């Protein structure tokens, strides 16, 4: 289907949406995964997608080929491909801010993609600087402290531990984001000014938390005998003038067409580059670019971000599932759920369409999670036996970067077992035939069996990486970015603004002086009461 992306019908006004409604009533609501596998021996192959560095098993999801066909029709009616092409071409698809959305340009090879000259000029300069700092004998740097929040924190904070095996052995990384002094205080205790590099990371260089922590860092540095601020402070920002006013002369810029939560590929990725070095950082970018090319050119039925985005819509708008669990079976990915929370919920937590009309359907699910196997001993109980159905996304990594092979085998077995258990469940009859040594002897066997029943039919996706190296991490994160783009585009929302964070910031600015003056005039009774309790 051709046509301009902006003229596309809203998803709920398409023929396919009506088709999906009927299909859900007839086949979706009562869809049973176990029956689907019994019916179709080729189901695994039919729902397997091989994307660059990421293999996905989508077969344990509550859909069939007919569902997928209808979802693909929906994508075509909503002109998803035209929207995607507009993204890559740098059209101002962030309509409420009149901006292009070009994080893909940050990882395009030299000479390819928009803004190539300026992107590669900063990248080359950044990576030259990185190698100077990584020469720790000459630079004397041992600690890198990234001060930033949201998109200026979560990407590096996620990627540095993920790539631990590739990290400079003499550099330690710290991330300070919260305006709560309990964040920076224990970090400063570990540092010496002469060994520390502070990165002040802020797209706008106006964010309250970051500016306040930067002031604390500078005061600490000077008070503890630090002498060369030019060497020990660096800024990554689009607002180079504000960084200069703050007193930082070493700056690496980026551009307003890079959204904060899409910025780890820009100068905001400096901590990542310092950790893994120039060649590995280029490999991270290349992995992301490989996923960009896949998203751009793979047919929709074999296009991983498209398949995942369609599934998100199917679950949110037809099944009514309200959240999605992310369970990376790799400890290095422990901050991936937090990263995805910003990526997905700040992008797609919207309730009006591009024209500002209120939406009659749901958008972003809650995204949450913890690494496996830890989550198994915490919230998996609810996933298996709770009243809500929560699709889970497992991430398994075939090869470990440590030498404890036995641990890795156990980890992978756990990962497989969880998605299997969610799907298969256990009937009351089956539970009744089993011994339960820890069960009460005073309750009758049937009651115990009911407590030990698992409904099953709980959906999951498993993503498999060969190894968690820079290239694969780049591909994985880019996959998530494009998946969020797909669901946002289908929902007809602007995934690239974040007006929802403004109100709290403005009210905070009003309340801040009141904490000193204790003036509660004009405040609602609850806020006034709480303020008095906190200051009196």
Q: Mark the segment that binds ligand F6P (CB under 6 A) among 117-125, 202-210, 394-402, 471-479.
A: 202-210
Token duo for residue 355: 């024209």
Catalytic residue among 77, 209, 346, 393: 346
Question: Is-contact 126 268, C-beta < 8 A?
Answer: no
505 is an active site residue: yes
Shortest Å distance, C-beta 17 to ligand F6P? 31
Task: State how far the Cα of 398 lies from the Cα of 444, in Å rounded to an integer.
Answer: 44
State how far the alpha carbon of 169 is from the alpha carbons of 134, 162, 165, 173, in Å.
10, 15, 9, 11
Question: Is-contact 414 330, C-beta < 8 A?
Answer: no
In a 3-state reduction of DSSP, which class is residue 123? helix
Token duo for residue 340: 């995805």
Our CB check for ligand F6P shows the closer of 54 and 243 to be 243
If one asks whether residue 210 binds ligand F6P (CB under 6 A), the answer comes out as yes
Shortest Å distance, C-beta 501 to ligand F6P? 4
Shortest Å distance, C-beta 111 to ligand F6P? 29
Our CB check for ligand F6P shows the closer of 151 and 371 to be 151
If one asks whether residue 204 binds ligand F6P (CB under 6 A), the answer comes out as yes
If one asks whether residue 150 binds ligand F6P (CB under 6 A), the answer comes out as yes
Shortest Å distance, C-beta 202 to ligand F6P? 3
259-278: which residues touch ligand F6P (CB under 6 A)?
260-261
Q: Mark the segment that binds ligand F6P (CB under 6 A) among 40-48, 93-101, 200-208, 446-454.
A: 200-208
Our CB check for ligand F6P shows the closer of 44 and 499 to be 499
Token duo for residue 62: 């509550």
Our CB check for ligand F6P shows the closer of 150 and 305 to be 150
Shortest Å distance, C-beta 247 to ligand F6P? 18
Which letter, b or e, does each residue of 473-505 get, where b requires 16 or more Cβ atoms within 10 Å of its Cβ?
bbbbbbbbbbbbbbbbbbbbbbbbbbeeeeeee
Per-residue contact track with ligand F6P, 344 to 363, x per CB under 6 A? --x-----------------
Question: Is-contact 386 320, C-beta < 8 A?
Answer: no
Question: Is-contact 383 419, C-beta < 8 A?
Answer: no
346 is an active site residue: yes
Our CB check for ligand F6P shows the closer of 59 and 238 to be 238
Quick one: which of 203, 316, 458, 482 contacts ligand F6P (CB under 6 A)? 203
Our CB check for ligand F6P shows the closer of 173 and 254 to be 254
Task: State how far the Cα of 482 lies from the Cα of 305, in Å rounded to an integer.
Answer: 6
Residue pointed to by tokens 């602007």: 494
Catalytic residue among 377, 398, 399, 402: 377
115 is an active site residue: no
Shortest Å distance, C-beta 96 to ligand F6P? 14
Task: State how far the Cα of 203 lies from the Cα of 255, in Å rounded to an integer.
Answer: 8
If one asks whether residue 103 binds ligand F6P (CB under 6 A), the answer comes out as no
Q: Mark the segment that binds ligand F6P (CB under 6 A) among 111-119, 204-212, 281-289, 368-376.
A: 204-212
Task: State how far the Cα of 179 lies from the Cα of 337, in Å rounded to an integer.
Answer: 22
Catalytic residue among 4, 192, 399, 505: 505
If one asks whether residue 152 binds ligand F6P (CB under 6 A), the answer comes out as yes
Question: CA-based angle 407:408:413, to the nearest 5?
Answer: 100
Shortest Å distance, C-beta 208 to ligand F6P? 9
Q: How many residues bind ligand F6P (CB under 6 A)?
A: 14
Our CB check for ligand F6P shows the closer of 413 and 501 to be 501
If one asks whether residue 501 binds ligand F6P (CB under 6 A), the answer comes out as yes
Quick one: which of 146, 167, 202, 462 contacts ligand F6P (CB under 6 A)? 202
Task: State how far the Cα of 105 lies from the Cα of 116, in Å rounded to an integer.
Answer: 7
In a 3-state reduction of DSSP, which class is residue 146? strand
Backbone φ, ψ for residue 135 (5° rounding): -80, 75
Give Cα 70 to chain centroid, integer Å. Answer: 27
In a 3-state reduction of DSSP, which class is residue 305? helix
Could you give the angle at which helices 278-297 and 80-89 cross, rounded to 10 degrees? Answer: 150
If one asks whether residue 151 binds ligand F6P (CB under 6 A), the answer comes out as yes
Q: Mark the segment that binds ligand F6P (CB under 6 A) among 31-39, 203-211, 330-338, 509-517.
A: 203-211
Question: CA-based angle 253:119:171, to the nearest 5?
Answer: 60
Question: Is-contact 176 184, C-beta < 8 A?
Answer: yes
Q: Give the residue numbers marked as catalytic.
A: 346, 377, 505
Q: Which residues bind ligand F6P (CB under 6 A)?
A: 149-152, 202-204, 207, 210, 260-261, 346, 498, 501
């Amino acid at each position: 289907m051709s046509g301009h992306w902006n003229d596309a019908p809203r998803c709920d006004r398409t023929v396919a949406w009506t088709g999906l409604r009927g299909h859900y009533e007839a086949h979706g609501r009562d869809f049973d995964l176990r029956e689907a596998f019994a019916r179709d021996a080729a189901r695994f192959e039919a729902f397997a997608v091989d994307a660059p560095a990421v293999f996905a098993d989508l077969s344990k999801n509550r859909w069939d080929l007919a569902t997928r066909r209808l979802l693909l029709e929906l994508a075509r009616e909503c002109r998803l491909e035209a929207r995607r092409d507009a993204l890559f071409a740098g059209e101002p698809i962030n309509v409420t801010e009149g901006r292009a959305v070009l994080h893909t340009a940050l990882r395009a090879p030299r000479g390819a993609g928009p803004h190539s000259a300026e992107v590669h000029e900063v990248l080359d300069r950044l990576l030259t600087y990185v190698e100077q700092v990584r020469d720790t004998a000459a630079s004397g740097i041992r600690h890198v402290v990234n001060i930033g929040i949201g998109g200026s924190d979560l990407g590096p904070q996620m990627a540095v531990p993920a790539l631990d095996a590739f990290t400079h052995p003499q550099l330690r990384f710290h991330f300070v984001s919260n305006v709560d002094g309990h964040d920076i205080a224990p970090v400063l205790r570990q540092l010496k000014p002469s060994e520390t590099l502070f990165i002040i990371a802020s797209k706008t260089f106006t964010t309250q938390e970051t500016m306040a922590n930067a002031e604390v860092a500078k005061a600490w540095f000077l008070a503890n005998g630090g002498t060369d601020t030019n060497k020990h402070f660096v800024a990554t920002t689009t607002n180079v003038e504000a960084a200069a006013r703050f007193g930082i002369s070493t700056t690496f810029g980026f551009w307003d067409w890079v959204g904060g939560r899409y910025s780890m590929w820009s100068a905001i990725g400096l901590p990542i580059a310092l950790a893994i070095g120039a060649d590995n950082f280029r490999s991270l970018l290349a992995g992301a670019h490989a996923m960009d090319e896949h998203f751009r050119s793979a047919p929709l039925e074999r296009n991983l971000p498209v398949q995942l985005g369609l599934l998100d819509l199917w679950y949110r708008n037809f099944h009514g599932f309200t959240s999605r669990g992310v369970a990376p079976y790799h400890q290095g990915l422990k901050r991936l759920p937090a990263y995805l929370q910003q990526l997905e919920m700040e992008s797609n937590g919207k309730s009006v369409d591009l024209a500002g009309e209120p939406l009659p359907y749901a958008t972003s699910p809650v995204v949450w999670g913890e690494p496996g196997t830890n989550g198994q001993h915490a919230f998996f109980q609810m996933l298996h036996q709770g009243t809500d159905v929560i699709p889970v996304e497992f991430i398994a990594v075939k090869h470990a970067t440590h030498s404890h092979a036995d641990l890795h085998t156990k980890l992978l077995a756990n990962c497989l077992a969880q998605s299997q258990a969610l799907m298969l469940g256990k009937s009351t009859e089956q539970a009744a035939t089993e011994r339960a040594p820890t069960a009460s002897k005073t309750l009758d066997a049937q009651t115990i069996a009911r407590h030990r029943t698992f409904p099953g039919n709980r959906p999951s996706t498993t993503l498999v990486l060969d190894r968690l190296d820079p290239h694969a991490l780049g591909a994985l994160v880019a996959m998530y970015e494009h998946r969020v783009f797909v669901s946002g585009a289908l929902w007809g929302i602007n995934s690239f603004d974040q007006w929802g964070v403004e109100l709290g910031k403005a009210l905070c600015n009003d309340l801040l002086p009141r904490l000193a003056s204790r003036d509660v005039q004009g405040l609602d009774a609850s806020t006034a009461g709480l303020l008095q309790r906190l200051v009196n």
